[in-house]
Amino acid sequence: MLEKEYFIFYASAVTAIVGTVGYHMLMKKIPENVNPLISILGIYVAIVILSSLMLPFFIGSGTLLTSLKQMSWIQVGIAGCILMMEVGFLLMYRSGWNLSTGNIVTGVAINIALGFIGVVFLKEGLSALNIAGILLCITGVALIGYRGTESTTGQAVTNDAAIVEAATVSVRK
């Protein structure tokens, strides 16, 4: 039984990673002339169909009706959060964020926020190594978000004004 638990532990992470990578690759490819909310509606119609097909594999003990009765306001709250996430990423990519940096910047910010929530509200602990990792992430985001100015020769200009401008651009995003 322990072997099955390890499989599910790692397979669930791999599934989330593959799904997230595919999500961002495909989200970036949605044509700009498609209404963002219509696009998201189409995505969720497809999710309803796919979820319905998978349902027989995920019903544990009880019936579908029993499972539906267990739902609460939490599902509505999650739906609102997912809608904000979907619209946010779609508009980020449409406004010029790169696939290679947009998700990294938001991912680090999300993870820092969740770390804070975990420590403050859920009383989870952070080790010194965890804190060092968080500081490295913040440094990484600052480096990724940095946009220096280009000189006429194509060389990056790294003067004080360019550094201040990069910090301002990073904060605005």
Does any domain span residue 145? Answer: yes
Does any domain span residue 2? Answer: no
Q: What is the pLDDT of residues 35-91, one digit of tens each?
A: 999 999 999 999 999 998 988 887 776 677 888 888 899 999 999 999 999 999 999
Does any domain span residue 25? Answer: no
Contact 30, 90 (CB under 8 A): yes
Q: What is the pLDDT of residues 140-151, one digit of tens each?
A: 888 877 665 554
**Number of Cβ atoms within 10 Å of the Cβ of 108:** 19
Instruction: Provide the sign of the torsion angle of the four alpha carbons 22, 27, 30, 36, taken in this order.
Output: positive
Does any domain span residue 28? Answer: no
The pLDDT of residue 108 is 84
Does any domain span residue 18? Answer: no
Does any domain span residue 112? Answer: yes
Does any domain span residue 103? Answer: yes
Whole-angstrom Cα distance, residue 27 to residue 113? 24
Average pLDDT, the chain: 81
Does any domain span residue 123? Answer: yes
Lookup: tokens for 91: 């508009």
- Residue whose tokens read 């509606």: 41
Domain tally, the chain: 1
Give me the domain span that covers residue 106. 99-173
The pLDDT of residue 61 is 64
Whole-angstrom Cα distance, residue 166 to residue 160? 10
